[in-house]
Amino acid sequence: MSISRRQILGAAGASLFSPAIVRAQGTRPIRIGEINSYSSAPAFTLPYRRGWQLAVEQVNASGGLLGRELQVISRDDEGKPSVAIRAAEELVRRNGVDLLAGTYLSNVGLAISDFARQNRTLFVASEPLTDALVWDRGHRYCYRLRPSTYMLAAMLVEEAAKLKATRWVTIAPNYEYGHSAVKWFTELLGRRRPDVQFIANQWPPLGAIDAGAVVNALAQQNPEAILNATFGPDLARFVRQGNDRGLFEGRDVVSFTTGEPEYLHPLGPDAPKGWIVTGYPVTESLGETNNDFVAAYSTRYGEAPTMGSVVGHAMISSIKAPIEKLGSVDTETMADGFGNVGFATPFGPASWRSIDHQSTMGTFVGRTAVRGDKGVMVDWTYRDGGTMLPSDAEVRKLRPST
Q: Kindly list the distances between the CA atom of residue 350 and the CA atoms of 94, 165, 321, 344, in Å, as whole numbers in the listed order.
A: 33, 35, 11, 6
- Which contacts (CB < 8 Å, 24+ apart) does range 242-250 have? 242/211, 242/215, 242/272, 243/270, 243/272, 245/212, 245/215, 245/216, 245/219, 246/219, 247/215, 247/218, 247/219, 248/272
Task: Give yes or no for a contact between 226 and 218, defined as CB atoms under 8 angstroms apart.
Answer: yes
Give pLDDT tens digits for 13-26.
Answer: 333 334 444 444 44
pLDDT score of 402: 54
Neighbours of 27 (CB within 10 A): 13
Beta bridge partners of 253: 226
Task: Taking residues 326-344, report their average pLDDT.
Answer: 97
pLDDT score of 27: 84
Neighbours of 311 (CB within 10 A): 27
Total length of the chain = 402
Half-sphere exposure of 66 (CA within 13 A, CB side): 20
pLDDT score of 16: 37
Neighbours of 140 (CB within 10 A): 17
Burial state string for 81-119 with b = 16 or more CB within 10 A and e = fewer than 16: bebbbebbeebbeeeebbbbbbbbbbbbbbbbbbbbbee
Q: Is residue 2 predicted with pLDDT exceeding 70?
A: no
pLDDT score of 11: 38
Complete edge-to-edge strand list for the sheet that includes strand 123-125: 70-76, 30-36, 99-102, 123-125, 142-144
Mean pLDDT across the chain: 93
pLDDT score of 400: 79
Question: For the chain, what is the radius of gyration of the CA atoms?
Answer: 21
What span, in angstroms and rounded, lies between the C-alpha atoms of 345 and 316? 9
Q: Which domains does the chain have, with CATH numbers?
A: 5-147+285-361 (3.40.50.2300), 150-282+364-398 (3.40.50.2300)
Helix (H) or strand (E) holding 343: strand 342-345
Neighbours of 244 (CB within 10 A): 12
Specify the pTM.
0.90
Give pLDDT tens digits for 129-165.
Answer: 999 999 999 999 999 999 999 999 999 999 999 999 9
Task: Taking residues 18-46, report their average pLDDT.
Answer: 78
222: helix, strand or coil: coil
Task: Taking residues 314-322, report their average pLDDT.
Answer: 98
Give pLDDT tens digits for 70-129.
Answer: 999 999 999 999 999 999 999 999 999 999 999 999 999 999 999 999 999 999 999 999
Beta bridge partners of 279: 259, 364
Is residue 165 exposed (0-12), middle (13-18) or buried (19+ Cβ within 10 Å)? middle
Task: Taking residues 300-324, report their average pLDDT.
Answer: 98
Q: Is residue 8 predicted with pLDDT exceeding 90?
A: no
Percentage of the chain with pLDDT > 70?
Answer: 93
Q: State residue 27 phi and psi, 5-degree precision.
A: -150, 165
pLDDT score of 5: 36
What span, in angstroms and rounded, lies between the C-alpha atoms of 13 and 226? 49
Helix (H) or strand (E) holding 155: helix 149-160
Residue 79 CA from chain centroid, whole number: 15
383: helix, strand or coil: strand
**Between 25 and 330, the higher pLDDT residue:** 330
Percentage of the chain with pLDDT > 90?
Answer: 92
Give pLDDT tens digits for 43-66.
Answer: 999 999 999 999 999 999 999 999
Task: Give yes or no for a contact between 234 and 209, defined as CB atoms under 8 angstroms apart.
Answer: yes
Strand ranges (E), 123-274: 123-125, 142-144, 167-171, 197-202, 225-228, 252-259
136: helix, strand or coil: coil
Strand ranges (E), 86-138: 99-102, 123-125
371 pLDDT tier (thresholds 50, 70, 90): very high
Task: Taking residues 205-228, report their average pLDDT.
Answer: 97
Task: Taking residues 180-204, report their average pLDDT.
Answer: 97
